[in-house]
Copies of this chain bind each other. A is one copy, B any other.
Amino acid sequence: MFKELDPLLLSQLRLAIMSYLMVAREADFNLLKEQTEATAGNLSAQISKLQEAGYIEVEKTYRNNYPLTICRITEKGVEAFDAFYKDLKSYFE
């Protein structure tokens, strides 16, 4: 009847991060912060969870002498997002 929904994507902020990355493919911390309107702490925490799950990869580097965190969606992340969308459909006929 109802499909299991990936709990990692059943979260507004993590879904927004993934949704943005599905299109943009990569984004730095501040861009994600602007796009999702999240607080830095919450964003940092949710990025870590997506990274641990292997849905995104995170590169920590520097730009103009400031730390720069770049997030990229992985193939696994794309698959999880697509599956989530498909599973979600079972809840709306």
User: Using a CB–CB distance below 8 Å, which chain A residues touch chain B?
Assistant: 1-2, 4-5, 7, 10-12, 15-16, 19-20, 23, 35-37, 85, 88, 91-93
Give the residue name and chain of the B residue nearest to A91 (CB).
Answer: B19
Q: How many copies does the complex hold?
A: 2
Asked if A1 and B91 make an inter-chain contact with CB atoms under 8 angstroms apart, the answer reads no
Contacts of A4 in B (CB 8 A): 12
- Chain B residues near A37 (CB-CB < 8 A): 1-2
Is A12 within 8 A of B12, CB to CB? no
A91/B16 in contact, CB under 8 A: yes
Chain B neighbourhood of A11, CB < 8 A: 10
Q: For residue A36, which residues in chain B have a CB less than 8 angstroms away from its CB?
A: 1-2
